[in-house]
Amino acid sequence: MKPYVYITRKLPEALVKPLQEKFNVNMWEHDDIPVPRDVLLEEAKKANALFTVLADSIDDQVLTAGNHLKVVANLAVGFNNIDLETASKKGIAVCNTPDVLTDTTADLAFALLMAAARRMIEAAEFVKEGKWLAWNPFLMAGTDIHHKTLGIVGMGRIGETVAKRATGFDMNTLYYNRTRKPEAEKQLGVQYSSFDELVEKSDFIVCLTPLTHETKNLFTREVFQKMKPSAIFINVSRGAVVDEQALQEALEAGEIAGAGLDVFQKEPISSDHPLVKLPNVVALPHIGSSSVETRTAMIQLCIENIIAVLEEKEPKTLVNKDWRPLVKGLK
C-alpha cells in the first residue's frame, strides 16, 4: 500500500499534486478553521507523514497515536509546537522551513516598524472614518525612523536581514544574541550589546528571538520601564516572549510610545483583545512570511521533506539532528 499523508490545512491542489502522485493524501477541508484535536489524533494513528502548521500541537499524544508516523513537516521556521524528544525516540523526522522566508519576514518586520512609527494604520482609518476635516502641522504626526537607534533582539538570519534594511535608513543598529556575530558586525556595521543596554538605548526594539525556556516572558514590565518613553516595540517572533499584561500596562502608562505586533500569546485574537483596543498598537494576524511567493516555497519545501523521508532519503531541513529512522535503507 502507498504511504498515507495527512495535511492539517487546506492547500491549493496544484501544490499538493507532487504528494498525490506518489502517496495517498488526505487534507483538512478548511483553511480558516484549525483541524479539531480528535480528528488530528485519528489521522495521526494511520499517517506515515503529517504536514502541519505552527498552530497545531504535535505533542506526545499525537506522536504516539499510531506506529506508522515517519515524518512531521512543519510549515514554519519555529517548531516549539512539536515534542522533539518524543519524535526522536519514535524515529520520527521533524522538518521546518528556514531560509525561504527570511527576506519576506524581514520586510514585514520593517513595514510593521514603519507603520507603528508613522501611525499609518491609525491615519488610514482616520481618513476612512471621515475625520479628516482640515490640514494642520501635527495631524497624525509620528516619529522619524532615519538616523534613530534600532535594537534587534535575536540576530539570526531574519535579524541580520532586518539590520540590512536599516542601513538604508541610516540607523544605528544594536543587537543582542546568544552568540556574537563578528561577520555581521563587519558587513552591516551593527554593534553587539547587552540586553539591558539595548533596551535602554534603542528607539525601536525589534524582537526576533526564538521561543525557548530562556526567552519566555523575556519582555516584562520591568524591561518596558527601562525603555525610552518614545520607544516603539515590535514583535515578529513568538507571542509568549512578551508578558502581554505588562506591555498593555506600559503602553497605557506612557512608559513606551507604541507597539507593532504580528504575534500574540494565544492566537487567533479577537477585536476585544486589550492590546488591539489601544490606538498606539498596530496588530497583525501573524503574517510575517505571508506572501504568495514565500508561502508557496514553504509548502514546496515541506513536500520535498515528506517525499525524501518516505522514500528513505535524508530530508533537506531536519530539525531533530539526533533523529535516526527506525527503518533501514536511508540514503
Residues identified as active-site? 238, 267, 286
- The DSSP code sequence of 111-162 is HHHHHHHTTHHHHHHHHHTT---S--TTTT-----TT-EEEEE--SHHHHHH
For 249, the enclosing helix (H) or strand (E) is helix 244-252
Contact at 8 Å (CB) between 78 and 58? no
Q: Burial-class residue 30 by CB neighbours within 10 Å (0-12, 13-18, 19+).
A: exposed
Task: For residue 210, give the DSSP letter.
Answer: P
Residue count (the chain): 331
CA 17 – CA 14 distance, rounded (Å): 5
Cell 525516540: give the residue: 89
Strand order across the 258-261 sheet = 191-192, 172-176, 149-153, 204-207, 232-235, 258-261, 281-283
